[in-house]
Amino acid sequence: MTDCLFCKIITKEIPSEIVFQDDRITVFKDINPAAAVHLLIVPNKHIPSVRDMNPGDEEILGALFSAAKRVAEESGIKESGYRLIINNGPDANQEIFHLHMHLLGGEKMKHPMG
């Protein structure tokens, strides 16, 4: 989808700080970080949201988690911990409709449910 910001980041049409990329997944730094480490882990395939996933896309979910584990280790926060968030739809304030997992860490965070 050519008008998708994250598709353009994946193809490097729009610059970003990519920290990992393979044939399935791209990981780049969030432009407006909410923690000391804030990475976005995205499938290279354009899937707008979890609600748009099909059964054949299940492998992509596994690849997202494997990439999260890898970049957390490379960022030096494997032991200190991190939070993985996927916002879906309006009530969760999803802004970019290309499925993405936020990886947040590098500092002590408040519990999101109080």
Active site positions, annotated: 100
Q: For ligand 5GP, which residue of 26, 28, 71, 99 counts as binding (CB under 6 A)?
A: 28
State the binding partner of 80 from ligand 5GP, Zn ion, none, CB within 5 to 8 A by kind: none
Distance of alpha carbon 19 from alpha carbon 28, whole angstroms = 5
Distance of alpha carbon 42 from alpha carbon 52, whole angstroms = 14
CA 10 to chain centre: 12
Contact 44, 25 (CB under 8 A): yes
Of the candidate spans 26-34, 63-71, 76-84, 104-112, the one that interacts with ligand 5GP by CB under 6 A turns out to be 26-34
Minimum distance from residue 53 beta carbon to Zn ion (Å): 14
Question: 14: Cβ–Cβ under 8 A, 6 or more apart, which residues?
Answer: 5, 8
Q: Which of residues 64-103 bind ligand 5GP (CB under 6 A)?
A: 87, 93-96
Binding stretches for ligand 5GP (CB under 6 A):
5, 16, 28-32, 40, 87, 93-96
